[in-house]
């Protein structure tokens, strides 16, 4: 049976609604990267991860081809995840600093992580149609978390943009005018979780120093305050 999130997770992993993404995720899983050639790739949509009662949500773009699409857990098994989970551990929101496989013992506290698009897209770029096709899963995840949810940390502009239709659909709340994405940008409204912007934890940002561990620590500290955890 399970609760709404168990049912949602199960439904997500079976989804085949986007032909281009289904073909891509399965092709990547069949061909594999040389470093992982002995592994069996997940090759399916990747559900959210973390407790079902969480005041903090972290919203990403989509699984990585050789990360979540390989391991079956979002942000798991790639450099982006290394940076994110190390920061969550420093913030006291994860019981260990690494996330390597679905059975590695990682547990999050008060935090649920999911993506706006649940299948790995070529070049990390879903089409607007794919984003919209996957949006109902995001809305259902937010609806299931709503009783406890206080803040959503949007990793990057894509996640930031995906939040607005979701908050309208789930909470019936919409900003009066467009709210631009920025690192540290904050939107708050009565009757909805706060939205906090953070540069994406991609290698492009972390290798260049655009996003440093200290900047990530500040964002998570703010998220904890907004969630009432500190």
* Contact status: 130 vs ligand SF4 (CB under 6 A): yes
Which residues share a beta bridge with 60? Answer: 115
Q: How far apart are CA 163 and CA 165, in angstroms?
A: 6
The whole-angstrom distance between residue 6's C-alpha and the CA centroid of its chain comes to 17
**DSSP string over 129-189:** HHHHHHHHHHHHHHHHHTTT--EEEEESHHHHHHHHHHHHHHH----SS-----TT-EE--
Which residue of 96, 127, 133, 203 would you call a contact of ligand SF4, by CB under 6 A?
Answer: 133
Which residue of 29, 83, 117, 219 would you call a contact of ligand SF4, by CB under 6 A?
Answer: 117
* Contact status: 58 vs ligand SF4 (CB under 6 A): no
* Contact status: 48 vs ligand SF4 (CB under 6 A): no
* Contact status: 155 vs ligand SF4 (CB under 6 A): no
- State which residue, 129 or 230, has the beta carbon closest to ligand SF4: 129
Q: Which stretch binds ligand SF4 (CB under 6 A): 90-98, 127-135, 141-149, 208-216?
A: 127-135
Q: How far apart are CA 229 and CA 151, in angstroms?
A: 11
Q: How far apart are CA 172 and CA 96, in angstroms?
A: 37
* Contact status: 17 vs ligand SF4 (CB under 6 A): yes
DSSP annotation of 107 reads -
* Contact status: 109 vs ligand SF4 (CB under 6 A): no
Which residue of 8, 21, 162, 216 would you call a contact of ligand SF4, by CB under 6 A?
Answer: 21
* Contact status: 45 vs ligand SF4 (CB under 6 A): yes
Q: How far apart are CA 166 and CA 70, in angstroms?
A: 27
Which residue of 5, 8, 9, 12 would you call a contact of ligand SF4, by CB under 6 A?
Answer: 12
- State which residue, 126 or 193, has the beta carbon closest to ligand SF4: 126
By the 10 Å C-beta count (0-12 exposed, 13-18 middle, 19+ buried), 168 is classed as: middle
Q: Which stretch binds ligand SF4 (CB under 6 A): 106-114, 116-124, 151-159, 160-168?
A: 116-124
Contacts to ligand SF4 by CB under 6 A:
12, 15-18, 21-22, 45, 117-119, 130, 133-134, 137
């Amino acid at each position: 049976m399970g609760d709404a999130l168990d049912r949602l997770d199960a439904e997500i992993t079976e989804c085949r609604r986007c032909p281009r993404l289904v073909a891509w995720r399965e092709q990547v899983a069949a061909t594999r990267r040389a470093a992982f050639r002995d592994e069996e790739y997940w090759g399916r949509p990747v559900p959210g991860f973390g407790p079902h009662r969480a005041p903090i949500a972290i919203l990403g773009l989509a699984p990585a081809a050789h990360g979540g699409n390989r391991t079956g857990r979002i942000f798991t098994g790639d450099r982006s995840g290394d940076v994110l989970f190390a920061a969550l551990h420093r913030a006291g929101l994860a019981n260990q600093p690494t996330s390597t496989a679905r059975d590695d013992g990682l547990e999050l506290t008060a935090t649920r992580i999911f993506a706006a698009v649940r299948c790995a897209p070529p070049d990390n770029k879903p089409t607007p149609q794919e984003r919209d096709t996957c949006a109902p899963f995001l809305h259902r995840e937010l609806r299931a978390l709503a009783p406890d949810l206080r803040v959503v940390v949007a990793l990057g502009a894509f996640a930031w943009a995906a939040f607005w239709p979701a908050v309208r659909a789930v909470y019936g709340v919409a900003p009066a005018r467009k709210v631009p994405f920025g690192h540290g940008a904050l939107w708050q409204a009565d009757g909805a979780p706060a939205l906090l912007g953070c540069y994406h934890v991609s290698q492009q940002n972390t290798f260049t120093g655009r996003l440093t561990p200290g900047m990530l620590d500040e964002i998570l500290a703010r998220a904890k305050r907004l969630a009432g955890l500190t």
